[in-house]
Structure 1
């Protein structure tokens, strides 16, 4: 597929609003391998890998929002964190991983809109990565946020499930007192809010602080019920603030009631979420937030997306006039204007 890119150049230029690259490395995956080699020795059972640096290059991905994601302790993650110190250790290890990848030339960490613009203008540049903290438990308190900003974090999502700062997925509740202090610090330091995973009460409280806002990976609640997804009112609020909403390529987030063993959701379901958002906020506020390496594998990706280089197929089911914008143009505008 050939398309006009965000800056008028031929060829697809993807920007992915959500990739858990360092989390995958923490699970033992070597993303510097070619995908076939990684799959032959994949240390993660039951999740066929789809993402490597080679796959990202093959897809034409120029920039991504790359996460620092500390996994909390739970039935499926007994090794996860149980307190702030454990969350911080995970995030620091992932930060070190990104720095080592940068030293090896696999990616370049980007901190400002000007750096993003220069990076996108350089066809020989490696993957550009803007650091996004998904779930704020690694942050000790509001005073500690400056440390993470100094380390390169430019976007922060206070919740995943419930955190010390906010209610989140399947964990209703608003901001805690610590969460309100964190939001004030984010506003002061210019850190953008990722509204993905925020419970409704926390979402509306957080917006009142006036920070820049996106939803890096969030589908529509009108099509798939649950507080993990954005209500129409939430989507409109993000669009009104010139934010971008990233479409998630995960079957249970695309088709209501999807479960293991069922056929994977089709690309038409991705288009349905995109079109629904477009009716609410317009095509200029929709992007990709694939989350393809976010704790699931090929088994739960949409049919037709068997590896990351297939992401361009998503664009083929969208209106031709808006493909370049959804592929990366909208994220490019937001990152260069607000980062």
Structure 2
């Protein structure tokens, strides 16, 4: 339980310290955005500064964004994206993706990540452990930990899992919000009473067990309740949801109920606050006019259920609609300032900003 107030009258986050707090974030889709833009003929300069993207190296350094889990996600129809104009066709967005196509796309994202690191070795590092991430951040290098969102790229025999782990995979989301050969995703829609749905497949249970053996963190964000409870029953490591919020405050099916949060807490796990406005707002509307206080309300609720060691950030930069006050990665200092004004102490801010994620990676690897 935190010792700060759960009411936050008059937050004025425009007062920002000159030295930003270092943040290790639990989820972004920046690699996907870079890849899709490149396929459409628009090369974004991640190292030098890029418009049309939430994170690049100069803005990350200026804002305190020191590292994170960089997601590799395969869209259902990547050919429907045009440079500078991503199109989300709701009729095809949730279509299943076959494994060979997903593996090819995932390898393209892995290769793009490696090329980014090779192009700026003094400013960026691919990190395969919490210790490597700490060292990179201490040296002023952006720490990128490879994460796959949605396991479509993995075959039921798990051969691809072994190879991806050897390539550096350290965190795996079993599903995105669509079914795959391992389980079923939660819809991104309001559900006042979340529907359980179908659970894991037999291959999904094998995937969880082998990922834990390899030290790959299993991410429960996007998984439906039936799958969540199957993982909770069989898991030997703490439960993690990299970018999900509190269903009690925003009844989107993508958010976690108090019962789920309590199970994560009992396991010694972690939840990363998602910045997507529809997962923050009580009305679940995609409205960027969503105040920072709503993010603080979710943080308070998560802290109340999970404790101060179980809450972190999972922004979903480059993959969601952000509150206007956040805007892009440069909004992180405004969120930190709001946390201070709400009574969060510096030790708690450090835990939420980075330490809890690094501890979670250590637990998953152990």
* TM-score of the two chains, using structure 2 as the length reference: 0.80
- Alpha-carbon distance between aligned partners in 1 of 2:288 and 2:214, rounded to the nearest angstrom: 45
Of 225, 248, 265, 2:274 maps to 248
Q: SS at the partner of 1:131? A: strand
Q: Which residue of 1 aligns with 2:7?
A: none
Unpaired runs of 5+ residues, structure 1, are: 4-9, 40-48
1:15 paired to 2:41: no
In angstroms, what is the RMSD of aligned CA positions? 2.3
Matches of 2:235 and 2:92, distance apart in 1: 37
Q: Distance in 2 between matches of 1:192 and 1:33?
A: 28
Among 198, 202, 205, the alignment partner of 2:223 is 198
User: Once the two structures are superposed, what CA deviation does each residue of 1:270-314 show, in whole Å capped at 9, x if it has no partner?
Assistant: 0011001111111221111100211x3xxx311311221111211
Question: Within 5 A, what are the aligned runs for 1:48-127?
Answer: 49-73=53-77, 75-76=89-90, 82-105=97-120, 107-122=124-139, 124=140, 126-127=141-142
SS of alignment partner, residue 125 of structure 2:
strand
Shift, 1:20, TM fit: 1.3
- Partners in 2 of 1:76 and 1:90 — Cα distance? 21
> Hey, what does 1:30 align to over in structure 2?
44
- Misfit runs of 4+, over 3 Å: 73-82, 336-339
Q: Provide the C-alpha distance between the structure 1 equivalents of 2:62 and 2:198, rounded to a whole number of angstroms.
A: 41
The alpha carbon displacement at 1:330 in A equals 1.5
Report the Cα distance in structure 1 between the residues aligned to 2:349 and 2:45, rounded to whole angstroms.
28
Query: 1:238 pairs with 264, 286, 293, which one?
Result: 264
Question: Structure 2 unaligned runs (5+)?
Answer: 1-15, 38-42, 78-87, 188-194
Does the 8 A contact of 2:312 with 2:351 survive in 1? yes
User: Which residue in 1 is equivalent to 2:181?
Assistant: 164
Instruction: Tell me the CA shift for residue 34 of structure 1.
Output: 5.7
Q: Scaled by the length of structure 1, what TM-score is found?
A: 0.86
Contact 1:133/1:157 (8 A) holds in 2: yes
The structural deviation recorded for 1:335 is 2.7
Matched, 1:138 2:175: no
Name which of structure 1's ranges 84-93 and 309-318 shifts more when overlaid on structure 2. Answer: 309-318
**Retained in 1: the 8 A contact 2:311–2:352?**
yes
- Aligned-pair CA distance for 1:53: 2.0
- How far is 1:184 from its partner? 1.9
SS, match of residue 198 in structure 2: strand
Candidates 269, 273, 289, aligned match of 2:298: 273
- Count of residue correspondences: 316
Relative to structure 1, is the Cα distance of residues 222 and 31 closer, same or farther in structure 2, using a 3 angstrom cutoff?
Answer: farther
